[in-house]
Structure 1
Amino acid sequence: MNVTIPATKADWQAMAETLIPHLESRAFIDDAFVAAASGETFATVNPATGETLARVASCDAADAELAVSCARAAHVRGEWSRLAPGRRKQVLLKLAELMEAHQHELALLDTLDMGKPISSSLGDINGAIGCLRYTAEGIDKLYGEVAPTGEDSLALVLREPIGVVAAIVPWNFPLMMTAWKIAPALAAGNSVILKPSEKSPLSALRLASLAREAGLPRGVFQVLPGFGHTVGKALALSMQVDCLAFTGSTQVGKQLMQYAGQSNLKRVYLECGGKSPNLVFADCKDLDRVASHAAAAIFHNQGEVCIAGSRLLVENAIREVFVDKVVEAAKAMQPGDPLDPGSFMGAMVDKTQYRRVLDYIAKGREEGARLRAGGQALESPGLFIPPTIFDGVTPAMTIGREEIFGPVLSVFGFDTEEEAIAMANDSDYGLAAGLWSQDIDRIMRLSRRLHSGQVFVNNWAGPDMTVPFGGVKQSGNGRDKSLHALTEYTELKTVWMALAP
């Protein structure tokens, strides 16, 4: 399927017609594709057309129990957990190689499943491949420690795999978020059970077959499609799951922490919601460039992005001029057919999210914000909402405080640094923040004062794998990416040896 590189909408459509009849829709448990124990299935739907792509196995507690048992058995056997780091690296690099060979197929699965533009999906797949390679190359370069004891003893600090890791990933970046979780967990020697979102399970199931081909031992990597309140809850409550890695809403993240407390106090890493501020000061040199980046920061991936720059804070001296430029930039970011490589935005993931975004737009109007662009769904059988911009938003307004997870930008004005910082930090979230200025002193001052896990200066969402990704406050507590992610999936063990005189 990947011999000829698809270049046009027609190419992608032809590829989709060939792919859809052969989609894998069963769960992957103990190295085999199987139906759910209950026999239940659910429909996964293309939001751009309303077409049902497949009926997917709907796993529940029985499937979770079986998968956890297999994962634990694999960990105890040690074929992976005790394998030399260099050997694990070879397997993960092979998996990255296979993903690259099938990158167009994997990208198409995500586009069909959740409505994102194919150009965006291709970028995501490249990011997932890069994550696998970066993490694999880091496995055999992390050393243990020798503690500074006296001559009568030797103390070693070792890193060991935690055991069984359950990874629950979101629908907005299906395969890239999967890679961010499973790459460090597998690299560290853990057995991993992946629970993809019921809104976008297809690429995870294809990944399972590639993982098997790459040489991951039986039970080390398993995929359980299904719903959060069934199979997700069962994994979170399992006494045999040692770590829970989650990306999704803050509300669900809180529930998972409760489940961990009710069960075995399993380690829980959360990357949750965001309402990220993007601060623009009047000293910026190129307002056209900044406006283009500010628009992309919220409208990329239909605004279905945890770190979307959904709160735009603009110094009042340039506010009217700058907002006009953002409105103009947004005109080139309209939604279109996800299979068209020229489309910047695609469809909302499903009817629930589509209605949720439209309800927030209505709330913005009701509360007195000034609509500058968009505001109405497109007349189409698909679930398309154009870039929507509200000016004159205040911190008391619903659209200025709650995460919408859609293409809706809220613009605030400020006069002083203190006002900007107070407004930026006045949020339950702290996942990301942007800062646009040419004043290096201001940049250094405000970067330290923004309550956020990430601060992007004169850019938005730098993509490099070498830096950690995660938030503070109700945006969560874990970190993806970088070598820091590897350490989160290991346990520290002290070995203290008394030496004979």
Structure 2
Amino acid sequence: MSSKSNGATNEIKFTKLFINGQFVDSLLGKTFETTNPTTEEIITRVAEGTKEDVDLAVKAARNAFDHGPWPRLSGQARRKILLKFADLIEENVEELATLDVIDGGKPISLSRSLEIPTVVELFRYYAGAADKIHGTTLKMSTSIHAYTLREPIGVVGHIIPWNFPSQGFAMKVAPALAVGCTMVVKPSEQTPLSALFYAHLSKLAGIPDGVINIVNGFGETAGAAISSHMDIDTVSFTGSMEVGRLVMQAAATSNLKPVLLELGGKSPFIVFDDADFDKAIDLAIYGNFINKGEICVAGSRVFVQEGIHDAFVNKLAEKTKDWTIGDLFDPTTRHGPQSNKQQYEKVLSLIEHGKKEGATLLIGGRPFGKKGYYIEPTIFTDVTDDMIIAKEEIFGPVISVLKFKTIDEVIKRANATKYGLAAGVMTKNIDIANTVSRSIRAGAVWVNCFLALDKDAPHGGYKMSGFGKESGIEGLDHYLHVKTVATPIYDSPWL
């Protein structure tokens, strides 16, 4: 694993709150620091919103929904504006990518070539859906003519995660905009910068004032205010299981608003003896170490059938050495620092737990370099199901390899988790592939591939990985109410 010097920095243009179409200071004048995880240096200070700022943002969003043009525009008109928004994002890909690099420790190759282009495509996808939101004509058993309307739910609260700040923004904001909702967005306090730039571009695209409002701040203040606000109609949250519970409780005890929760996972990646060996190795590495392991669907429990286990482990360690750590602005760099100090310390602590519980540290497991929150790509073997590293979401560059014998055994063990976000199955046997795919309790099962995430495919979990779907046409559902309209037919007994 090689290292190179740190690269560029970027002038920060937007650091305030964005409310009712204007960048403004917080009402209390508070700010907080956002830090570059590569250098551990302060990038800038960002306006810190609190309950008072959330109230102001909600008021703007409510007025824009109740009286403004956005919900009342034709789907065709919203589509044109969203397509322009997507074009502006594409034109500014370099600046947006750079913001996520310096704010979140993301390699430029990942941000520039994958995440920001995904944002562009998500906005184009939902722009295409904006004029195709239709109800259904109902054939009633009585003499009643009825149909359904699919209407925007109202004011939405979006709480964005720090691991994919741009993609998280688009997955929530694009479908809500497409159906005609207005919103208050709280980016993570760890990575607030790109959301503010998107707000700037939204105004250039012609999205009316008050439709998108950005309130930077902390979960216990701004996030809590959004979750419990009586004038927000629904909340979408991506983050930890613990905070997801708090969001749900706040929503239930206020105006009983519905919530969409994506709360992480501990995904199994199952490799059978007959699998394409080299492809399985590459996918195990990619599926765990991309974005320095800060990915909710990481296949961090790698189950390997006993016939190929030893050879697999040896090759996995050998190829991991090529996963380059270094300058985030070097396009050959694959591995950056953890996004923040808290996560860095958590990952290192869990690695120590793995050692103490008796797992074999095959490679990595240490901080890398003299500055920044870098952790070496790490592989444990001789892992058992009851170890903390096999049970808890690490959210860092750590693989646990577990040996198995039979298909029934691995299905039972793969399902023995509180999570259920995703799973991977590597086999050339269609019967094994079908059996495992039907048996694993997860929102997505990828056969002979991994991280097959796409704008067309709904994404969401089972069990304590949350509920509700993002992406795909299903990604619109959380932001729509279904209303039934019924009228009697002439000479009906209902007259």
Q: TM-score, structure 2 length as denominator? A: 0.97
How far did 1:335 drift? 2.1
Aligned to 2:272: 281
**Which residue type is aligned with residue 52 of structure 2?**
A
> For 1:24, what is the secondary structure of its paired residue?
coil
2:21 to 21, 31, 49: 31
- 8 Å CA contact retained: 1:334, 1:387: no
Q: Which residues of 2 match residues 122-137 of structure 1 at below 5 A? A: 122=112, 123-137=114-128
- 8 Å CA contact retained: 1:466, 1:481: yes
How far did 1:151 drift? 8.2
Aligned to 1:405: 395
- 8 Å CA contact retained: 2:348, 2:366: yes
Aligned to 1:182: 173
**Which residue type is aligned with residue 418 of structure 2?**
D
2:205 to 214, 229, 235: 214
* Counterpart Cα distance in 2 of 1:66 and 1:154: 43
Percent sequence identity over aligned pairs: 44
> For 2:209, what is the secondary structure of its paired residue?
coil
- The answer to whether residue 57 in structure 2 is matched with residue 63 in structure 1 is no
How far did 1:153 drift? 2.6
Q: Deviations over 1:154-211 (max 9, x none)?
A: 1010000000000001010001111000000111110011100000000000000000
Aligned to 1:203: 194
1:224 to 215, 234, 251: 215
Aligned to 2:232: 241
- 8 Å CA contact retained: 1:72, 1:240: yes
**Which residue type is aligned with residue 90 of structure 1?**
K
How far did 1:51 drift? 1.9
Aligned to 2:256: 265
- The answer to whether residue 463 in structure 2 is matched with residue 473 in structure 1 is yes
* Counterpart Cα distance in 2 of 1:151 and 1:415: 59
> For 1:430, what is the secondary structure of its paired residue?
coil
* Counterpart Cα distance in 1 of 2:39 and 2:258: 40
How far did 1:118 drift? 0.5
C-alpha RMSD of matched pairs (Å): 1.3
Aligned to 1:106: 96
> For 1:68, what is the secondary structure of its paired residue?
helix
Aligned to 2:318: 328
* Counterpart Cα distance in 2 of 1:316 and 1:150: 59
- 8 Å CA contact retained: 2:422, 2:461: yes
**Which residue type is aligned with residue 128 of structure 2?**
E
Q: Deviations over 1:309-344 (max 9, x none)?
A: 110000011101001111112111132121111110
- 8 Å CA contact retained: 2:325, 2:336: yes
> For 2:46, what is the secondary structure of its paired residue?
strand
- 8 Å CA contact retained: 2:234, 2:257: yes
Q: Deviations over 1:395-437 (max 9, x none)?
A: 1100010011000111111000011001100000000000000
* Counterpart Cα distance in 1 of 2:99 and 2:297: 23
* Counterpart Cα distance in 2 of 1:256 and 1:488: 16
How far did 1:345 drift? 0.8
How far did 1:375 drift? 1.1
Aligned to 2:307: 317
Aligned residues: 487
- The answer to whether residue 48 in structure 2 is matched with residue 80 in structure 1 is no
Aligned to 2:448: 458
> For 2:69, what is the secondary structure of its paired residue?
coil
Q: Deviations over 1:68-90 (max 9, x none)?
A: 01110110114011111111111
- 8 Å CA contact retained: 1:23, 1:54: no
* Counterpart Cα distance in 1 of 2:331 and 2:34: 23
> For 2:103, what is the secondary structure of its paired residue?
helix
How far did 1:23 drift? 2.7
> For 2:467, what is the secondary structure of its paired residue?
coil
- 8 Å CA contact retained: 1:247, 1:272: yes
Q: Which residues of 2 match residues 5-20 of structure 1 at below 5 A? A: 13-14=7-8, 16=9, 19-20=10-11
Q: Deviations over 1:339-381 (max 9, x none)?
A: 1111101111111111111101111000000111101111321
How far did 1:141 drift? 2.0
Q: Which runs of 4+ in 1 moved over 3 A?
A: none
**Which residue type is aligned with residue 305 of structure 2?**
E
**Which residue type is aligned with residue 216 of structure 2?**
P
> For 1:438, what is the secondary structure of its paired residue?
coil
- 8 Å CA contact retained: 1:434, 1:457: yes
* Counterpart Cα distance in 1 of 2:339 and 2:267: 21
Q: TM-score, structure 1 length as denominator? A: 0.95
- The answer to whether residue 41 in structure 2 is matched with residue 51 in structure 1 is yes
Q: Deviations over 1:96-130 (max 9, x none)?
A: 00000001100110000010101111110000110
- 8 Å CA contact retained: 2:270, 2:303: yes
Aligned to 1:371: 361
- 8 Å CA contact retained: 2:324, 2:332: no
**Which residue type is aligned with residue 183 of structure 1?**
A
- Listed as ranges, the gaps of 5+ residues in structure 1 are 1-8
Q: Which residues of 2 match residues 428-447 of structure 1 at below 5 A? A: 428-447=418-437
